Amino acid sequence: MHGGKNSATMPGYYRLMGICICGISALEFYRAYGHRACDLLAHARTSKLDRISIAGMNRGEERLSEMGVLKRPIHVLVDREARRKPNERFICKTHSNLPPRSVIKVSEEVSVVCPELLFLELASSIEKTPREDLLKGEVALALVGFELCGTYLLSNEGQCGSVQEKMRKGFANTHQSLTNKERIEKYIANCGRLDGVASARRALEIIQEGSHSPMESSLFMLLCGPRSHGGMGFPRGLLNYRVKTSRGQRLIDLAWPHFGVGIEYLGRNYHGISEVERDDRRRNEIGGEGVTIFNVRYEDLAQPYRFKQLVEVLSKSTGVRVRVRSSAFWRRHALMKSVVLSNGI
């Protein structure tokens, strides 16, 4: 109690019970929520962890399974080193002096770290990998950043029932993003000496907000990502750029408005005649507004020869000169491609 009021109703004084999930378990949790994940942002928040214990974790584990967190061990956040008791079902982690509102209370049994802290924790795990794996880890972290700052969440393995439709396409769309680059940057600035800051900031430089699908994220990274990480280094385009046409607004998957150029990703299973006719009409509508649209299929990204053709076409259309002869770069590019093309469909 504080000043005669119930402390659980007062911002900043919420006392958590049960289990607080973090790291990759928190990512699995958000993905399990799918299109409803953004509703969690309205829940009560705190930075206090004093009443989280192993006993509470045991109570929360069953509830987590019901919520779709199936992988074990579960990564959990506890308040002190003294509470990091060995348990094959849990990996316990501590943070000191968390910024305000770092933990979201989902229910009496379950809490989850906020998306900004999740991103930082994933960055921390990357910094502990061998140096030769750091580049691959930062590319994978950037993909998670696209997801958190976009309007989709990947499906977890083993999801079924009401999410069968989601599983068919591999992800669920949300009505808003879980976070954005500005909120992540502000959170990092308030974190002091927490691990992961350096990798998080490098990944943030790659991320672009507004992606609606995994392959839009992959497309952006391959073409606009920095050469230091294996991207082609084209100027940063805009994802889902809105164009007014005679038939209303249309979205371009990846656009460079200043150059009057855009790309539409057609997908891996793009074969139907009706789909071709629909996108031809759409391309003509957008073309009438002075934007040249190039259709890109999965093979254009996956096959080296076709990808180089795409790069040449874009280079001529934008006037951006892209010439890379370094064998070291193409090794980085191959590494990036191996990560980003396993990201979507």
| CA–CA distance, 201 with 184 (Å, rounded to integer) | 9
8 A C-beta contact, residue 214 and residue 303: no
pLDDT of residue 68: 85
| CA–CA distance, 47 with 104 (Å, rounded to integer) | 9
| Mean pLDDT over the full length of the chain | 82
Q: What mean pLDDT do residues 329-341 have?
A: 94
Which of the four pLDDT bands, split at 50, 70 and 90, describes residue 223? very high
When comparing pLDDT for 241 and 158, which is higher? 241
Q: What is the pLDDT of residues 262-299, one digit of tens each?
A: 999 987 654 344 454 455 445 544 554 568 899 999 99
Give every CB contact of residue 6 below 8 A, 6+ residues apart in sequence: none
**183 burial via Cβ count (<10 Å: 0-12, 13-18, 19+):** middle
Q: Which of 143-147, 149-153, 198-202, 245-249 has the lowest mean pLDDT?
A: 245-249
Q: What is the pLDDT of residues 9-52, one digit of tens each?
A: 334 334 445 788 999 999 999 999 999 999 999 999 988 775 66
Q: What is the pLDDT of residues 30-40, one digit of tens each?
A: 999 999 999 99
φ and ψ of 150, to 5 deg: -110, -160
Among 7-16, 133-142, 190-199, the range of highest mean pLDDT: 133-142
